[in-house]
Every structure is written in structure tokens, then in C-alpha cells.
Amino acid sequence: MNELTHFTDAGRARMVDVSEKPGTKRVAIASGVLRMQPETLARIRTGSIAKGDVLTVADVGAVMAAKRTADIIPMCHALALTGVEVVFSDIAEPDAGGCVGIKVVTTTSCVGQTGVEMEALCAASVALLSIYDMCKAIDRGMRIEYIQLEEKRGGKSGVWTRPE
């Protein structure tokens, strides 16, 4: 396990100084799932949610969240992102409770001195929260699951991929 660098020797929280680190290309991929009733997914896919195009709003929300991550996560550096990609896919196979779902995969990238993992995770979270917000009137039992980092590339630690 790596030493935690967001704390001083006295145990105080701090933002890590990355000024001596070289800038490198950084990429992070995160994912998450929103489980819902089959009827809710069908209404999202047919565009019959009263608030509008759910996935377009969630896509924009994800990009906005990635860009504003440093405003939300206290010790996170503000980064000049070079890209944010958001991909949604259906989970048609019902779980034990009969719920289907939408999976989101977000990819963030930059050239910088620190990674973009938090930006990818924030993007995935806000994408799913945006869908929840737009559909909660018809399905309050939706649940967000498995928000997780899938892969990161770049920097001194190189490549990390979630084990299967």
C-alpha cells in the first residue's frame, strides 16, 4: 500500500504539491450502474420522460462534473481536461429484484502532473444522479451501484486496470 500523501506529518489534510512532477498524458476510465424498473428504462429509451431527453442531460451533467471536480472534492487539483467521453449502455438482464439498468462508462484525459481518476468518477456519479433526478417521479426505488475506477494510465505508476 502506498503512503497517503494528502496528510502532513502532523496528520493535517493538505493538497499535494505536484509542481516538481513532469506533465504526462493521463487517462482514467470509471463506470457505474443505475438499477430501475423495466418500465422506467423503456420510457427513457422511447423519450417519454416528461422532463426531456434523459441521456442527453446526463451526458452534459457528466461533462460538467468532470470539469468541476476540484470544486467538489476538497484536495483535488483543478485540471485542464483534454477530453471527456460518456457512453451509456442498457442492462437488459433483470437482477434478483426484477430491475434492469443503465451502465455508464466515462473516460477523462489530460496532459498534466496528476491523474484524472477523480474526474472520471465524478462524471460517472453525476451522470447516474442526473438520470435519477429526471426519473425519480416515476421510480423512486432506483439505486446506484458499482461506481468504480476501471483503468488509469499515465504518470509514475503507469497503467492500472481493475482485475476481473
Overall average pLDDT of the 88-108 stretch: 97
- Which domain does 70 fall in, by range? 34-154
Q: What is the pTM of this model?
A: 0.91
Q: What pLDDT is recorded for position 11?
A: 75
Residues across the chain: 164
Position 120 in a domain? yes
Contact (CB, 8 A) for 104 and 62: yes
- pLDDT, one tens digit per residue, over 105-147 is 999 999 998 889 999 999 999 999 999 999 999 999 999 999 9
Position 159 in a domain? no
Q: What pLDDT is recorded for position 1?
A: 43
Q: What is the CATH number of the domain that holds 113?
A: 3.30.70.640
Q: How far apart are CA 22 and CA 18, in angstroms?
A: 9
Residue of 9, 95, 133, 139 marked catalytic = 133
The phi, psi pair for 48, rounded to 5°, reads: -105, 30
Position 64 in a domain? yes
User: pLDDT at residue 2 above 60?
Assistant: no
Position 162 in a domain? no
9 part of the active site: no
Measured CA to CA in angstroms, residue 30 lies from 17, 21, 78, 116, 146 at distances of 25, 24, 19, 10, 10
**Phi-psi bin for 98: left (phi > 0), alpha (psi -120 to 50), beta?**
left
Position 13 in a domain? no
- pLDDT, one tens digit per residue, over 67-92 is 999 999 999 999 999 999 999 999 99
Position 76 in a domain? yes
Residue 4 pLDDT grade (very low, low, confident, very high; cuts 50, 70, 90): low
Position 9 in a domain? no
- pLDDT, one tens digit per residue, over 25-66 is 999 999 999 999 999 999 999 999 989 999 999 999 999 999
Q: How far apart are CA 154 and CA 113, in angstroms?
A: 10
Type of residue found at 98: G
Position 49 in a domain? yes
Q: What pLDDT is recorded for position 73?
A: 94
Q: How many domains does the chain have?
A: 1
